[in-house]
A and B are shown apart, each in its own frame.
Chain A
Amino acid sequence: MVPTPGGADARGSSPLPPHLWRELAPQVLGVMVRRYRDFAACEDAVQEALIAAAAQWPREGVPDNPRGWLIHVAIRRLTDHVRAESARRHRESLTVSLVPPDEQIAMAADSDGARGHEREHDDTLDLLFMCCHPALSPASAIALTLRAVGGLTTAEIARAFLVPEATMAQRISRAKQSIEVAGRQFEMPAGEALAARLGSVNHVLYLIFSEGYSASTGSALIRTDLSSEAIRLTRLLRRLVPDSAEVAGLLALMLLTDARRVARTDAEGGIVPLDEQDRTLWDQARIAEGVALISQTLPLGRVGPYQLQAAIAALHDEAATADATDWRQILALYQVLRAISPNPMVALNHAVATAMVDGPAAGLAELDGLTADARLANHHRLESVRGHLLERAGDRAGAIACYRRAADRTTSAAERDYLLLRAARLEESSEPTAK
């Protein structure tokens, strides 16, 4: 992300490296929200503390415990605000209820430090759970997560999602309001509830990643940064919950998918399908990290959808050529995935794998069984997959018709271009494809 000059963001003149800011801000906010619950007020207070730090630290040096300093100042700002507000409204009781009794006296800057890293982790995790609260729409959760945990400015998030800054500011502000309502009865979940909430966080992080990865419109450069941000946040989440196999699976999936990013589009931004990608462009360091991660996670035996998708991505990434792809194993993995997480896209991918193992006719037969699914009947992906399988089966006219139907239905300009070009190429190829 390109830092915004002159925004309400304190990083510009900071004596701290930007990544430290980005790590400190959510930690401080996590502590504040955990204590006081009032998300919007805490965020304002943290912003003010960051701005104070940006003004003071260059003059007086960075304090020994920057985190403690920021927490201390943020608490002071928050209590100032609450007092001013309640005085204005003659509602002294609010101060008492909002600020816990033991903290109505200003705290020592590092009083929080005693409980150490565990507490710090809990605070950030708590913040993630809040931002990805199931009460929020995905769009709101994404924006809030990037703002509060990612530490991106509203302007940066707006640019990444190609909406005006005022629109994004409003989306974030509405999300905060929902959080406040939900936050009142918020408690750190445990057991199955914890797994469910972790699932919501995973989902939001995955959506952020896909948004950057698909880069269907607008400036691809800005949007791919969303993928990097999602990976960074997932690494953070993994540090917070190292025992979660699905978080590890999600991180592996992101790494193994992101490894192919450069090869996925040509110089003009056109789509290059997996079997035509220049595999020398794939990021081997990413692949190695992702493969190692999924290899140590799968044997744990707590298999979930992200781990399975990561395992499939690993098989693609490890194939030296498209022909060398281990489709048999991919098919087996899709079978498990279809059993534990049935959805139309998994069913489609399963049909592709079937076609690669047992031939296009078998894949096409499987597709016929899917047309009854209302979610797929008019979906461009169904027609696109059918087109590819018909092309492989030698039915050129059928394939062309499918590609053009898919082009008609897709909402991605890049995909439409790809499908139309594919249809045109097929129409012009003088040699009929082999049966």
Chain B
Amino acid sequence: MKYILMMNHPGKGPYEVMSWPEEDLKRHIGFMKTFARKLAAAGELVMAEGLGTPDQAKLIRAGKDGQPITDGVFPESKEFLVGFWIVDVETTERAIAIATEASAAPGRGGKPMSIPIEMRQVMSTPPVEP
């Protein structure tokens, strides 16, 4: 079964990592790379992507004439998606374990961030008839 694990940046304001000290940044980047490598080696990683910064985000709607209506940054949003993993695992428990590990990514001073990870199942093909 496939799950998408979405890492959200809590709170408003600029990307938190933008102002981290070098050591903390290095530790965090290193963790993310190792994490993806481990998942790939376990045969569980479908894909992992980081997203551009929220400042660059746009909100797009089709207007009445079909033309795009584009909004820039939306400061009222409480959180932003910063990246996601799609994993293919045997059990829901395994997906939760992976999400927990991602949530504990090292932050300032190496302390686990406990960053919220939203986990949703990726819909599958219909079951094969017996």
Contacts and interface: CB of A to CB of B under 8 A. Distances in A.
Interface string B50-61: 101101100000
B102 to A, nearest CB: 16
B20 A408 contact: no
B21 interface: yes
A407 interface: yes
B123 to A, nearest CB: 16
A408 B29 contact: no
Contacts, number: 37
Given A268-B30, A417-B29, A420-B25, A407 B18 contact: yes
B21 A408 contact: no
A203 to B, nearest CB: 27
Contact of B26 (A217, A404, A413, A421): A421
A113 interface: no
Interface in B81-127: none
B9 to A, nearest CB: 13
A424 B21 CA distance: 5
A427 B15 contact: no
B22 A408 contact: no
Given A269-B33, A421-B26, A404 B18 contact: yes
A420 B18 contact: yes
A119 interface: no
A408 to B, nearest CB: 5
Nearest to B26: A421
B17 interface: yes
A21 to B, nearest CB: 30
Contacts of B30: 268
B50 A408 contact: no
Interface in B1-50: 15, 17-22, 25-26, 29-30, 33, 49-50
Interface residues of B, number: 18
Contacts of B56: 408-409
Nearest to B54: A408
Interface string A393-435: 0000000000010011101010001001100110110000000
A216 to B, nearest CB: 11
Nearest to A404: B18
Given A421-B25, A421-B26, A408 B15 contact: yes
B20 A420 contact: yes
B55 A424 contact: no
Contacts of B55: 408
Contacts of A409: 53, 56
A408 B25 contact: no
Nearest to A268: B33
A270 B25 CA distance: 12
Given A269-B33, A408-B53, A413-B50, A421 B22 contact: yes
Given A268-B30, A404-B18, A408-B15, A424 B52 contact: no
A399 to B, nearest CB: 14
B22 to A, nearest CB: 4
A428 B29 contact: no
Interface of B: 15, 17-22, 25-26, 29-30, 33, 49-50, 52-53, 55-56
7 contacts: A270-B29, A408-B15, A408-B53, A420-B17, A420-B20, A424-B22, A428-B21
Given A420-B17, A424-B22, 8 more contacts: A268-B29, A407-B18, A417-B25, A417-B29, A421-B22, A421-B29, A424-B20, A428-B21
Closest 8 CB pairs of A and B: A424-B22, A408-B53, A425-B22, A413-B50, A417-B29, A424-B21, A424-B25, A404-B18
